[in-house]
Chain A
Amino acid sequence: MIETSGEEYSAQNAPNLTPEIAIAHLRSPDLSLRYYAAWWLGKFRVSQLEAIDALVAALEDEADRTELGGYPLRRNAARALGKLGNLKAVPGLIKCLECSDFYVREAAAQSLAMLGDKTALPALIKLLDGGVEQAVQVPGLPHLTQPYTAVLEALGAMGATEAISLVEPFLQHSVPRLQCSAARAMYQLTQESIYGEFLVKVLATGDLKMRRVVLGDLGAIGYLDAAEAIAQAQVENSFKLIALKGLLEYQLPKQSDTFGISEQAIRVMNLMDSLL
């Protein structure tokens, strides 16, 4: 998942906002204030109901448009709603999956995955219509017809086993990043090591950018057999530590106060220690 535009803001250079001011700014005549406020509410996890309602309303904004017909405010509102954890946002986000703006659809798919509400599954699955044949580059634009990476990752994270036969063909897609997203989802949906090993192989053969992305995938799915390969990967230690942290967390019971630590957890921590 790649955060675009919104995260470029540095908190230090930003106008001083409070939740109340930010919510009010979502209806400001100044469009840049609206855009910034939507990002700010997500960044600072302002989860009060007024913020949710105002952001949901912003998903239908018509005022803020790019030259190409994009909806910047909708994008930021959709991203923020994923971080705020309120299922009230789900119907509005589902509607965004049909928005004409690719980046709104992408943000909505990512946020729906974070919210984890399964009522979104049919709408997410619908974006895979036409399968791999339809998953082609849009002429002149830097993206495919749909936000496939976000959709595949959402289906995997939400345990959409009914979508396995639709996800599987994307392992053969010509875009390497998409193959990895498919492998990541397939592992989550089937727990079969062949998909984890696919990612391990990319870790050894891909370029640096790809290796960083795959480390994120392996951490997200907690594929334990990748631990040593992660520790040895030709990538900055910070990325490796985050991936191993993901593996470690899968080895720890949900209720943390009383957990004992398993041999596997110790193995992962020893690798983490060696990367400090």
Chain B
Amino acid sequence: MDELIRAITTAETPSQLVTAVKNLAATKNPSAIPNLIAVFGYNNPEAAIVAVAALTELGEIAVPQLLDQIDDYNYGARAYSIRTLAAIADPRALDVLISTTIADFAPSVRRAAARGLGKIHWHKLDPTEAETGTNRALETLMFICQDTDWSIRYAAIVGLQALAQEDLVRLPILAQFQLMLTNDTEKAVRARVQLALAQ
């Protein structure tokens, strides 16, 4: 294990790094989690994608460290953290996904977070918490339906479509979709609403 980790820190070329990360990922060993997260900051997209996949597969056991190690100063690294948290869909990521969806400066990160908000595994919470959480996700996604960037509104619809699986929030989501179907200025956004309504 130490050997595999050392291979990452001593990699001298981008392809050596990718190989080292792949080897570490193949162990599926939770003690590799911090090193996999650190890969997000190495500015090597190929290696980062391997790390995202590995952490996603490790699943909820990786969540606390993912939350703890979000890089507030490196938007590239942060994007990978958010994508991983969105893919794992653990409800402990809710607060981070909400604040990112609303306030991150990078649209790509906001879109990933918004999509993730729709797919959180609410059943892992007790019923009261699940209800509060679902409502907060709803409120957040409704809010960004007013965003000036069409791609954020598009991501909001994708998030809301997934969230509409929850009986609790289905009606307000359908009402929001009807509103956007008439009012949204972008044809592409209205088309995505239609697709959501058809499914």
Interface size class for chain A? 10 to 19
- The answer to whether A261 and B155 have CB atoms under 8 Å apart is no
- B65: chain A residues within 8 A (beta carbon): none
Q: Which of B151, B187, B195 contacts A269 (CB 8 A)?
A: B195
- The answer to whether A249 and B115 have CB atoms under 8 Å apart is no
- The answer to whether B191 and A259 have CB atoms under 8 Å apart is yes
- The answer to whether A276 and B150 have CB atoms under 8 Å apart is no
- The answer to whether A252 and B187 have CB atoms under 8 Å apart is yes
A265 — nearest CB in chain B belongs to which residue?
Answer: B191
- The answer to whether B187 and A256 have CB atoms under 8 Å apart is yes
On whether A261 and B114 interact (CB within 8 A), knowing A245-B150, A249-B187, the answer reads no
On whether A238 and B188 interact (CB within 8 A), knowing A245-B150, A261-B198, A276-B158, the answer reads no
Q: Does B44 contact A (CB under 8 A)?
A: no
- A256: chain B residues within 8 A (beta carbon): 187, 190
Interface string of B93-136 (1 = CB under 8 A from A): 00000000000000110011011000000000000000000000
B110 — nearest CB in chain A belongs to which residue?
Answer: A276
Q: Does B80 contact A (CB under 8 A)?
A: no
Q: Does B170 contact A (CB under 8 A)?
A: no
- The answer to whether A238 and B191 have CB atoms under 8 Å apart is no
- The answer to whether A238 and B150 have CB atoms under 8 Å apart is no
Alpha-carbon distance A153/B114, docked complex (angstroms): 36
Alpha-carbon distance A30/B154, docked complex (angstroms): 44
- The answer to whether B154 and A266 have CB atoms under 8 Å apart is no
Per the CB 8 Å criterion, the residue count for chain B at the interface is: 20
- A265: chain B residues within 8 A (beta carbon): 191, 195
Which positions 238-276 of chain A face chain B at CB distance < 8 Å? Answer: 238, 241-242, 245, 248-249, 252, 256-257, 259, 261, 265-266, 269, 272-273, 276
Q: Is the interface of A mostly helix, strand, loop or mixed?
A: helix
- The answer to whether B194 and A259 have CB atoms under 8 Å apart is yes
| Closest beta carbon of chain A to B108's beta carbon, Å | 5
- B158: chain A residues within 8 A (beta carbon): 273, 276
- The answer to whether A248 and B188 have CB atoms under 8 Å apart is yes
Alpha-carbon distance A141/B199, docked complex (angstroms): 56
- A266: chain B residues within 8 A (beta carbon): 195
A237 — nearest CB in chain B belongs to which residue?
Answer: B108
Q: Does A3 contact B (CB under 8 A)?
A: no
Q: Does B192 contact A (CB under 8 A)?
A: yes
- The answer to whether B194 and A249 have CB atoms under 8 Å apart is no
Q: Which of B114, B154, B187 contacts A272 (CB 8 A)?
A: B154
| Closest beta carbon of chain B to A251's beta carbon, Å | 8
- A248: chain B residues within 8 A (beta carbon): 188, 191
- A245: chain B residues within 8 A (beta carbon): 150-151, 188
Known A-B contacts: A249-B188, A273-B115, A276-B112. Give 20 more (CB < 8 A). A236-B108, A237-B111, A238-B107, A241-B151, A242-B151, A245-B150, A245-B151, A252-B188, A257-B182, A259-B191, A259-B194, A261-B191, A261-B195, A265-B191, A266-B195, A269-B195, A272-B192, A276-B115, A276-B154, A276-B155
Q: List 9 A-B contacts (CB under 8 A).
A: A245-B151, A252-B187, A252-B188, A259-B191, A259-B194, A269-B195, A272-B154, A273-B115, A276-B112
Q: A residues near B, CB below 8 A?
A: 236-238, 241-242, 245, 248-249, 252, 256-257, 259, 261, 265-266, 269, 272-273, 276
Q: Which 7 residue pairs spanning A and B have beta carbons closest together?
A: A276-B115, A276-B111, A245-B188, A276-B155, A248-B188, A256-B187, A241-B151
